[in-house]
Structure 1
């Protein structure tokens, strides 16, 4: 997204009855730090095509604000002067939240107490979101049933014939092969054993280290809700831990135990959740496409994706056993 004109921030401040007290500073492609006389705010901009995402994220934050649960923290939504959760302007929308300070950290630096706080936080968020119904919400079931496995295979294999000379061709071939094997291993189970009776209430769907803001208090602030979809809770628990149960099972168990102290999970859904969560790694075509377009820039993404897939490949039974044992231990 190009830099918005000054008139955009002027219109936003007018709509929110705010007085800007300094220049807006760009934080990421679509997020800006806006100082005002009423405090610093985060401005998230959306294009016209992202209208649904903007209103979905604002609706989720508005809902979570009604539950004073200390087990989770999210950004505080700022409403317009007219009480609207999001602003609609010249060429898109904007959502304003209170500016939160803190730092992002990689998952391998989290302490056991931080993993426990994250597990309890996710369970508390799920409890709150069990009571939220959004008028238009994408669901994991719709995404799974829309998958064309043959198309996925073609999209993974085609790049092997047009690799840039400066790229690591051997690494890409290894990654593509691992993704194809993940697809074969996990696609059937994700479709055939889907828990059809689940209401698929919203989940965060991107609950990971890139969206945990640590500020010295626990739990950390959970950011970025625009990827929220409807899904069984077991899917998110498995997916957000990724390969941690294989790499550091004691930390992953601390997370799951803390979750179970707040909210139960269904043991009969664990095998499906492992299949559905592992399948997501085979579907990351953006990693391959990004690497083809700009190998130096996406080299770290490809290496990270390769590490994740290689760790989880062939580990279906171990992952199911890990989560099943956690749930058994958590039963009264």
Structure 2
């Protein structure tokens, strides 16, 4: 364990009345596996400025645990000895959950039964989250209306002029072109056709292969709720499937049909949701900025973003048709 992190882990164990029984093992940039005498825990560290994100994630997990719905599984929140949902130190915060063993897999390895389980799980999560109100919750509508399309275009074009020596300038130019075309295609509809009157209850907002933990039981455990925002449910259904309806329509249909068996979707929101979901791929400034700062490290991210955006480019009509047919098939 890195020396600078010894003190926080000592303080965390004291706050939770835990006795560390082995060395902490880093799982990701901010998540650690910590063995204790009373059972292993996952420690998720936040910076001092992420207090709101930590409390939001803890609140969501507390809410979902209270419902006991077997159609979804999430991490089990651990509270401090004083009953607090998270630990707060001088310059950091931590949230602890019970350690869950399992594996992460890429979407192209999921069997039809697993896609169905994921669809039903998302619908059940949405049903539960319909009853949760989070204070000052960020929403997809608030994010959309703050987008300055002209500013986004300028940033993308400006990036081309700052290509690092060790970066593939041709790849960046193609990616920028794809993003600009997606912006032109999907930005207007995402703004003009926003569903009026939707309460924008919480969604996971990162429901994808990186947050599905498979442990031999279905559905998989859904991790990482700190990115939750308020949004119409149609947005998340389309956003999490991305290009699957184009690549493997039968599997995508299995997901959507399983969702519809638990919770309905609005057919008149599909076109808007396609626009809003696809637009996100044109707004990945973190990918471009990361690549400009460290091209070798972010090359994989840029290639991945390029592949996804290129696949979705020009597919608006096909995506709308696919989801509309799914909803028609799932209607009584």
Asked if 1:63 is matched to 2:66, the reply is: no
Q: 1:149 to 1:115 in 2, by over 3 A?
A: same
- Rounded to whole Å, the distance in 2 between the matches of 1:215 and 1:303 is 30
Once the 2 structures are TM-superposed, how far is the Cα of residue 250 of structure 1 from its aligned partner?
Answer: 0.4
- Distance change (3 Å), C-alpha of 1:91 and 1:3: farther
Tell me, in whole angstroms, the C-alpha distance in 2 between the residues paired with 1:4 and 1:313: 46
How many Å separate the matches in 2 of 1:174 and 1:269? 31
What's the CA shift for 1:6?
1.6
Q: Structure 2 CA distance, aligned partners of 1:29 and 1:3?
A: 16
1:3 deviates by 6.5
Report whether the alignment pairs 1:211 with 2:211. yes
Aligned pair count?
Answer: 331
- 2:227 alignment counterpart: 227
TM-superposed CA distance for 1:165, in Å, is 2.2
Q: Equivalents in 2 of 1:136, 1:183: separation in Å?
A: 28
1:264 maps to: 264
Deviation, structure 1 residue 24: 1.4
1:196 aligns with 196
Mind listing any 5+ residue stretches in structure 1 that lack a counterpart? none
With structure 1 as the length reference, what TM-score do the two structures score? 0.98
Q: Deviations over 1:225-284 (max 9, x none)?
A: 000000000000000000000010000000000000000000000000000000000000
Computed over aligned residues only, the root mean square deviation of the Cα atoms, in angstroms, reads 1.0
Deviates most, 6-15 or 195-204: 6-15
Task: Please give the alpha-carbon distance, in whole angstroms, between the structure 2 residues aligned to 1:174 and 1:115.
Answer: 32
The residue aligned with 1:48 is 48
1:39-118 equivalent positions in 2, closer than 5 A:
39-118=39-118
Residue aligning to 2:183: 183
Q: Paired residue for 1:304? A: 304
TM-superposed deviation, 1:287:
1.0
Q: Is the CA contact (8 Å cut-off) linking 1:43 and 1:95 kept in structure 2?
A: yes
Runs of 4+ in 1 over 2 A off after TM superposition: 2-5
Determine the C-alpha separation between the residues in 2 that align with 1:74 and 1:178.
36
1:98-139 CA distances to partner (integer Å, 9 max, x unpaired)?
001111111011110000000000000000100000112100
Question: In the alignment, what sits opposite 2:150?
Answer: 150
Separation in 1, partners of 2:319, 2:175: 21
Matched ranges for 1:224-263 at <5 A: 224-263=224-263
Alignment of 1:3-22 (within 5 A): 4-22=4-22
Alpha-carbon spacing, 1:85–1:279, altered in 2? closer, same or farther (3 Å): same
Write the deviation string for residues 135-178 of structure 1: whole angstroms up to 9, x where unpaired: 12100000000001111101111011121122111111111000
Tell me which residue corresponds to 2:131.
131
- The TM-score with structure 2 as length reference comes to 0.98
Paired with 1:4 and 1:79, the residues of 2 have a C-alpha distance of 24
Determine the structure 2 residue equivalent to 1:293: 293
Residues 8 and 90 in structure 1, CA contact (< 8 A), matched pair in contact too: no
Q: Spell out, residue by residue over 1:181-217, the C-alpha distance to the aligned partner (whole angstroms, 9 max, x if none).
A: 0000000000001012110110000000010111111
| Superposed displacement of residue 5, structure 1 | 3.0
Contact 1:291-1:298 within 8 A present in 2 as well:
yes
Structure 1 pair 213–110 and aligned structure 2 pair: CA distance change class (3 A)? same
